[in-house]
Copies of this chain bind each other. A is one copy, B any other.
Amino acid sequence: MEKSTLITGGARSGKSALAERLTLSATGRGVYIATAQAFDDEMKSRIAAHQDRRGPEWQNVSEPLDLCGALTNTDGGDPRLVDCLTLWLTNLMLGDHDWRAAGAELTKTLRHQTAPVVFVTNEVGCGIVPENKLARQFRDAAGWLNQTVAEACDHVYLCAAGYPIRVKPNDNPF
């Protein structure tokens, strides 16, 4: 298993299931780093249901903001799955954090990891330009973050209908 992988794709394209399978492929165990925040009881029960579904082979870590800390704390053991970068970016933007600095720090942290990391992220830029200004800013930021993390990863896949298309490495001449 490669040290770092980015799995991108649209909503419900099968990204998380593929990421789970890839993460478990090395040792049969994985660390699930969830960036989702439980703002209310409905969200709390959804997150609990997700953890139950995943089973005892997963160690669950919840970290909405300090992703670098979570990666450093869990390094040296089983592969980690970060689900997902788009929610992490949302949390950073809602909390008025410097998301560009956070993205740059993430790629730096990634360089020093010894256990594998699989990132899940979303394609959000393939629709009509949103009329809402915040939505336009978010899709620009998400595109920037995806490119930044992809450049730091060994492998990148794009999911469609539950299957991965290889994006990096590729044999294109540029």
Interface residue ranges, A against B (CB under 8 Å): 6, 8-14, 18, 21-22, 25, 121, 123-132, 135, 138-140, 142-144, 146-147, 149-151, 156-158, 160-168, 170, 172-174
Contacts and interface: CB of A to CB of B under 8 A. Distances in A.
Contact of A160 (B127, B130, B156): B156
Given A10-B143, A144-B12, A25 B174 contact: yes
Contact of A158 (B8, B150, B165): B165
Contacts of A11: 125-126, 129, 139-140, 143
B162 A151 contact: yes
Nearest to A19: B174
A142 to B, nearest CB: 7
Nearest to A130: B128
Main SS class of interface, A: mixed
A63 to B, nearest CB: 22
14 contacts: A8-B160, A11-B126, A12-B142, A12-B143, A14-B143, A18-B174, A25-B174, A123-B125, A124-B128, A127-B127, A156-B163, A161-B168, A163-B168, A166-B172
A125 B6 contact: no
A121 B13 CA distance: 13
A159 to B, nearest CB: 9
Contacts of A167: 160-161, 163, 165
A115 B162 CA distance: 25
B164 A125 contact: no
A125 B9 CA distance: 8
A74 to B, nearest CB: 21
